[in-house]
Amino acid sequence: MTVKGVLFDFSGTLFRIESTESWLRAVLAEAELTLPEGELIRAARALEAAGALPGGAFPSQPLPDDLAEVWKVRDKSAELHRAAYTGAARRVPLPDPRLHDALYERHMAPAAWSPYPDAADVLGTLRERGVAVGVVSNIGWDLRPVFREHGLDPYVGAYVLSYEHGIQKPDPRLFRAACDALGVAPEDTLMVGDDRRADGGAAALGCGVHFVDHLPVTRRPEGLRPVLDLIG
C-alpha cells in the first residue's frame, strides 16, 4: 500500500478534551459561582456518568427513550448534537440551570482541548513527505478554531465534519468525501482513529485503518508516531 493521504479522527486521536472536573470548574469560574469542593466533585462525577461532556466518557447509565433516540444520531447536525449533550447534562442538578448551556459552550473553546504531544511533529512530517492530511470527525460544531489556536491548522488539507454533511461515521460516504477533498484514492489512504466501529468504517472503502488508544495526553506521548512507519 502506497499511502498518499492520511485521515485523522479528532477527539481521542489528535486532541483530548479536558477532564470533566476541569470543564465544570471553568464554567463555574466564568459564571462567578462556587460550590463546596465535595459538591463540585460529586457533580463532576455525575456529569461524567451521564456522558454530558462531548469527547469524554459515554453514558454509563441508560438514557431516557427520547434522549436515547437523539443520542444515536447526535453527530448528524449541530442541533442534534447540542440537544443530546445538553439533555444529558440536565440530568445532573446544578446551582443555576443556565450552567447546562454554558457547559456545552465551554467544550467548543480551544482552551478545553489539548493536542497529543506528538501531533504537531507527526502532521509536520507527513507534510514534509508530501502526504495529504485530512480530519474526519463525528461532531456537531466547527473544530477548525481549535486547530488554528493550537497551531495544527496549516498541516490539514481538508476537514470533513459529520454535521456539515448530515452523515456520521462509520458511514463510508463520509470517508469518501474526505478522500475526494484531498484528491486521493481510498486504496492509497490510511484512516487513523480511536474508535474501532466508527473509524473502522473506512475499511469498507478500501482504506487502511490504524487505531490509537483514547488516553489522557500525559499517558500517550508517542501514540501517533507509528503512523510514520506505516506510510514508509
DSSP-assigned states of every residue in the chain: ----EEEE-SBTTTEEEPPHHHHHHHHHHHTT----HHHHHHHHHHHHHHT-STTSPPPSSPPPHHHHHHHHTGGG-HHHHHHHHHHHHTTS--SSTTHHHHHHHHHTSGGGEEE-TTHHHHHHHHHHTT-EEEEEE--SS--HHHHHHTT-GGG-SEEEEHHHHT--TT-HHHHHHHHHHHT--GGGEEEEES-TTTGGGGGGGT-EEEE-----GGG-TTTTTHHHHH--
The answer to whether residues 124 and 65 belong to one domain is no
The answer to whether residues 74 and 151 belong to one domain is no
Domain boundary among 90, 111, 132: 111
| Percentage of the chain lying above the pLDDT 70 cut | 100
The answer to whether residues 73 and 126 belong to one domain is no
| Percentage of the chain lying above the pLDDT 90 cut | 98
The answer to whether residues 86 and 119 belong to one domain is no
Q: Which domain holds residue 179?
A: 5-16+113-230
Q: Give the pLDDT score at 232.
A: 72
The answer to whether residues 177 and 193 belong to one domain is yes
CATH at 167: 3.40.50.1000
The count of structural domains within the chain is 2
- Read off the pLDDT band of 41 (50, 70, 90): very high
Mean pLDDT of the chain: 97
The answer to whether residues 93 and 136 belong to one domain is no
The answer to whether residues 135 and 224 belong to one domain is yes
The answer to whether residues 11 and 122 belong to one domain is yes
Whole-model pTM over 0.85:
yes
The answer to whether residues 88 and 77 belong to one domain is yes
The answer to whether residues 99 and 33 belong to one domain is yes
Domain boundary among 111, 139, 159: 111
pLDDT digits (tens, 9 = 90+) for 141-165: 999 999 999 999 999 999 999 999 9
The answer to whether residues 133 and 203 belong to one domain is yes
Domain boundary among 62, 95, 111: 111
pLDDT digits (tens, 9 = 90+) for 182-231: 999 999 999 999 999 999 999 999 999 999 999 999 999 999 999 999 99
